[in-house]
Structure 1
Amino acid sequence: MPTTIRRAKANPTKAFFVRMLTRDISLTDCILDLIDNSIDSAWSESGATPTELIEDRALAPYHVAITINADTFQISDNCGGIDLDDATNYAFTFGRSDEEIDQAYSVGVYGIGMKRAVFKMGNAVSVVSTFDDEGIDAFEVPINVSKWLVDKTDPWDFELRQATPANETGVTITVGELFDDTVSLFEDPTYVRRLHKALARDYMVPLMRGLTISLNGENVVAKTINFANSSAFEPLRRSYEDNGVRIEIIAGMTSSPPDDVSPTEEREEDISGWYVLCNGRVVLAADRTDNTVWGSAVPKWHRQYAGFTGVVLFSSTDPMRLPMTTTKRSVDTSSAVYRRAIDKMARPTKEWIGYTNARKGDLEAARVLEQKVTSVPVISVAKSGGLKLPSPPKTKARSVANIAYSVDATRLRKLSAAMGDAGMTYRDVGIQSFEYAYDSFVQDEA
């Protein structure tokens, strides 16, 4: 056997590790990672689980407050804190060790979220935890990133210092000396609005369960999804178990399909598409790509299909079983659990596509049925075996012809204004133009 003469070092440098850790994640997703940690603790402290889309007050005692400006980022919660043993052995390691016990129903999988987030934002970091371990205590972890990167004394460790306990158990993370990219984004007046909308969407489940999230002092209100319900329209709601994962699917009509499917006239804030949630966290919102069903299990998305919304909630005590990526901003399409769910998601989607095709036969009758609905919040949708959609009444077939032509947009808008409505759809301008020409030249009933 050959004699070993030396061992080649294979340790990563800190600078390389930090660069690789932070380069492929956005600042917004870093902030969401920190919020995820707070919410994971809130679920654990409350004993509640994010396994169903319901509304209650299970998380009402807990709050998460985020403050951002050009100088500082801070997130503070009252969700129980990190105790000293966990801080020493787990919370600040890069990646989870084999013996570490995950919080049940968490979305933290790899143990990198907090470190990745603060290293992305700035140079001066402070993590303060107040915890109850047979008496209230607190510690602080101060991190000067630039100094830590070159420190060779204890290469990967952080110092824990005694701190003054806060009024409530929880964690406060403050980042100062923000990097230029962070400052530039935080100074953008539209950024806070975009972040606020992301929080309302991605945390709709914990917000509906009573959690308070505030951004620069303004409380976030959960994004709402309401389904149409009537004797003709009933959304689907079903759940099942698959390899340690509970899956709940809700799908149905959230608005009438468009009569005009011109791609230039997309609806603003259209919620149509599939929402994928993992342990209560939205990882895909209003998806209309082959990440869900479109273009794979069913035809590619077309504006004709607008008005259909599906929600699929995956929940498990083991987050490794959930079909989400490390950034929690997409799905792992290779997951067997997810692929099997796609088959079930495709069924109501295909039924909706069929309905949008059938309604063309009698749009007026379809509109009448679509207007006779009540709005039911996603949390109140009743369990059912399948999606219920109407078959529009059959009418005597008429020979029809489609007219398609292009005109200068400025001239078209001048024409619509002359007709009395400058905001008229292209389709209606065409119809009224035809009717005017028909009446002028033919002068009889069609």
Structure 2
Amino acid sequence: MALSNAKARGAAYAIASSPVTETTFTRGCHDSNPSYADVRDDLLDTNEIAAPTENPSMTKASSDQAQASPTKQFFVSMLTRDISLADAILDLLDNCLDGAMRLANGNDVDYAKHFVNIEIAEDHFSIADNCGGIPRDVAKNYAFKMGREPDDDRDSDAETIGMYGVGMKRAIFKMGRNALVRTRHGDDMFEVPITSQWLEAKNWDPLPINEPTEAKERLDEPGTTIYVTDLYEGVSRHFANEAFENEVRTAIAEHFTMFIQWGLKVELNGKPVESVLVEVLVSTDEKRPAPYIYQKMIDGVLVSISVGLNTGKSLGDDDEEDVGFERDRSSATAGWTVLCNDRAVIVGDKGRLTGWGDGIPLYHPQFAVITGIIEFRSKHADQLPVTTTKRALDTSSNVWLESLVKMKEGMRIWISYTNQWKNHPRADQSRHWESAKPMPLSRAIEVVAARSATRRVADAIEFNPQKAKVLPEPEDKKPSSRKIVFSRPAEEVRLVSKLLFDDPDEKPGIVGDKCFEMQLTKAKQGD
């Protein structure tokens, strides 16, 4: 290995200053490796062992060139390989939101004014929005390039998660061989076709920009419509499958839950998508229970964490309005939900990814009452711990690893809490949670941060409900209990409820509990 010039100069100085003027270093007799040949330090020449430099006189330019550009087939194939079909659709929807943010020009976005309509069918895919459209100069210079240019600073001040400039193209290539992107920005309207002929061609010719000539081709308001045809066989089969439609609906409901809650109207095949509510119970009373919260700026990313009890409200719930403590919980939103700039990257994770089984117990149904929410927020998308698919985490990033420590700290508090109460009826806890309300992450942090027990150190705020002594504890030790679960026709439950409480609409759990108490009394009298 060649020595650097600095090291060579140091070696030469050490040798020159030695009283021994001629020394031979000889390898051991057992060492036959010629690379360890004898070295005469007085013959050391720093110029000879320095890294070689190019000698212009030894080469001359020729007219030949070595091609280094990617083939289109390779580029398209590799670009689409690592993203699922559902995630490709989410990528296009995410682009709509970016358009709405650009339209707001730095102001708060009124998502109630915007819609996104998606159609998936056996023979086509389409997505249409009214989120501002694509400016012509952006279409000419940036939007259809395979990757983001360094000088493309459109979203430098926006809290988005797109960073590579491949989302729209990758989604189109994932689905089919022909696509038409029709857009209107202000009053300027044009369309860009992406054809199978262009995909099959070896060169990277620019895509044509065409002007609409018929009234039916014009969009009623600024926005973009993407229409994909000539679908790949596997894609066509997925789009015709109702189960896949449900998968996409659930993914949209989870990933864009915050935007839908803020008023964004999303339709899939003509049916509105309802949001998944990921919330924790918070009491506004200082002496009542509240979740663990933590907020700090880490490596330029604002990290917000809340861990507490959930409400059980999730996708597919019935019309019950009771979201209080006694409501039967769904495990869909239990575990960890990870948000990046308001997009839910992961919902309800219960594995090692979010710390379960790593220094704390593995997830167990006992912990279905626990929900953790963490959000990473930054105007620089490349600092967020999210991958290019926007639905997976970069768990090697420092901001994630540092946050994980606090996530597990919050989990330990509530795991300990459920251990205390696991042999006690849930009803015994309800009075402690009467004033608690379900709140999303931002609201929960706002309310809890106002408590006097909240610690503020440097640029971090933290509230530990265990240390603040606001978590309820069982009043006495009770014998271990067993859960009894059974189902009866709704009308029969109403009849028994009317008999016992003179009210046909008493909660089924209370009706069942009363029935058991009556039979238990008889059993004890029989003794």
TM-score band, normalised by shorter chain: 0.7 to 0.9
Q: What residue in structure 1 maps to residue 195 of structure 2?
A: 144
Q: What residue in structure 2 maps to residue 409 of structure 1?
A: none
Q: What residue in structure 1 maps to residue 226 of structure 2?
A: 173
What's the offset of the Cα at 1:57?
Answer: 7.2
The answer on 1:158 being equivalent to 2:207 is yes
Q: Which amino acid aligns with 1:95?
A: G
Find the residue that maps to 1:338 and give its secondary structure.
helix
Q: Which amino acid aligns with 1:72?
A: H
- Kindly tell me: are residues 9 and 75 of structure 1, through their superposed partners in 2, closer, same or farther at Cα, counting changes over 3 Å? same
What's the offset of the Cα at 1:36?
Answer: 0.7
Q: RMSD across aligned C-alpha pairs, in angstroms? A: 3.3
1:19 to 51, 73, 77: 77
Q: Which deviates more from structure 2 when the two are superposed, residues 14-23 or residues 339-348? A: 339-348
2:367 to 305, 320, 328: 305
The answer on 1:273 being equivalent to 2:331 is no
What's the offset of the Cα at 1:395?
Answer: 2.5
Q: What residue in structure 2 maps to residue 249 of structure 1?
A: 305
- Kindly tell me: are residues 139 and 368 of structure 1, through their superposed partners in 2, closer, same or farther at Cα, counting changes over 3 Å? closer
Find the residue that maps to 1:276 and give its secondary structure.
strand
- The Cα offsets for residues 144-200 of structure 1, whole Å up to 9 and x where unpaired, read as 13x113324x52521111236422111110001111111101111222222112111
- The Cα offsets for residues 48-77 of structure 1, whole Å up to 9 and x where unpaired, read as 68xxxxxx9722222111111112111111
Find the residue that maps to 2:160 and give its secondary structure.
coil
Find the residue that maps to 2:250 and give its secondary structure.
helix
Number of aligned residues: 398
In structure 2, distance between residues paired with 1:155 and 1:396: 75
In structure 1, distance between residues paired with 2:111 and 2:229: 30
1:64 to 107, 116, 125: 116
Could you tell me whether the CA contact under 8 Å between 1:362 and 1:394 is conserved in 2? no
Q: What residue in structure 1 maps to residue 474 of structure 2?
A: 393
What's the offset of the Cα at 1:267?
Answer: 7.3
Q: What residue in structure 2 maps to residue 213 of structure 1?
A: 266
In structure 1, distance between residues paired with 2:288 and 2:438: 14
- Kindly tell me: are residues 93 and 118 of structure 1, through their superposed partners in 2, closer, same or farther at Cα, counting changes over 3 Å? same
Q: Which deviates more from structure 2 when the two are superposed, residues 92-101 or residues 286-295? A: 286-295
In structure 1, distance between residues paired with 2:92 and 2:250: 17
- The Cα offsets for residues 307-332 of structure 1, whole Å up to 9 and x where unpaired, read as 11111111111100111011111111
In structure 1, distance between residues paired with 2:263 and 2:487: 48
Could you tell me whether the CA contact under 8 Å between 2:161 and 2:341 is conserved in 1? yes
Q: What residue in structure 1 maps to residue 149 of structure 2?
A: 97
Find the residue that maps to 2:227 and give its secondary structure.
strand
- The Cα offsets for residues 216-269 of structure 1, whole Å up to 9 and x where unpaired, read as 22222221134334454212444332222222222210159xxxxxxxxx9755
What's the offset of the Cα at 1:341?
Answer: 1.4
Q: Which has the higher contact order (CA 8 A, sep 6+)?
A: 1
Find the residue that maps to 2:159 and give its secondary structure.
coil
2:276 to 216, 223, 227: 223
- Kindly tell me: are residues 358 and 173 of structure 1, through their superposed partners in 2, closer, same or farther at Cα, counting changes over 3 Å? same
Find the residue that maps to 2:180 and give its secondary structure.
strand
- The Cα offsets for residues 338-380 of structure 1, whole Å up to 9 and x where unpaired, read as 1121122222211001111222464567544466454323264
- The Cα offsets for residues 100-119 of structure 1, whole Å up to 9 and x where unpaired, read as 11411122111111111001
Structure 1: give runs of 5+ residues left out of the alignment: 50-55, 257-265, 404-412, 422-427
The answer on 1:195 being equivalent to 2:248 is yes
Q: Give the number of the structure whose alpha-carbon radius of gyration is greater.
A: 2
Matches within 5 A, 1:124-143: 124-132=178-186, 136-143=187-194
Q: Which amino acid aligns with 1:129?
A: T
- Kindly tell me: are residues 185 and 247 of structure 1, through their superposed partners in 2, closer, same or farther at Cα, counting changes over 3 Å? same
- The Cα offsets for residues 260-298 of structure 1, whole Å up to 9 and x where unpaired, read as xxxxxx975531011111111111110112222222353
- Kindly tell me: are residues 370 and 129 of structure 1, through their superposed partners in 2, closer, same or farther at Cα, counting changes over 3 Å? same
Q: What residue in structure 1 maps to residue 173 of structure 2?
A: 119
Could you tell me whether the CA contact under 8 Å between 1:57 and 1:210 is conserved in 2? no
Q: What residue in structure 1 maps to residue 448 of structure 2?
A: 383
What's the offset of the Cα at 1:7?
Answer: 3.9
Find the residue that maps to 1:305 and give its secondary structure.
helix
Q: What residue in structure 1 maps to residue 139 of structure 2?
A: 87
In structure 2, distance between residues paired with 1:210 and 1:47: 19
In structure 2, distance between residues paired with 1:199 and 1:397: 45
Using structure 1 for the length normalisation, give the TM-score: 0.80
What's the offset of the Cα at 1:304?
Answer: 2.0
Q: What residue in structure 2 maps to residue 108 of structure 1?
A: 162
Q: What residue in structure 1 maps to residue 16 of structure 2?
A: none
Could you tell me whether the CA contact under 8 Å between 2:420 and 2:474 is conserved in 1? no
In structure 1, distance between residues paired with 2:173 and 2:109: 34
In structure 1, distance between residues paired with 2:105 and 2:356: 37
- Kindly tell me: are residues 108 and 229 of structure 1, through their superposed partners in 2, closer, same or farther at Cα, counting changes over 3 Å? closer
Could you tell me whether the CA contact under 8 Å between 1:362 and 1:395 is conserved in 2? no
Q: What residue in structure 1 maps to residue 68 of structure 2?
A: 10
Find the residue that maps to 2:190 and give its secondary structure.
strand
Matches within 5 A, 1:420-431: none
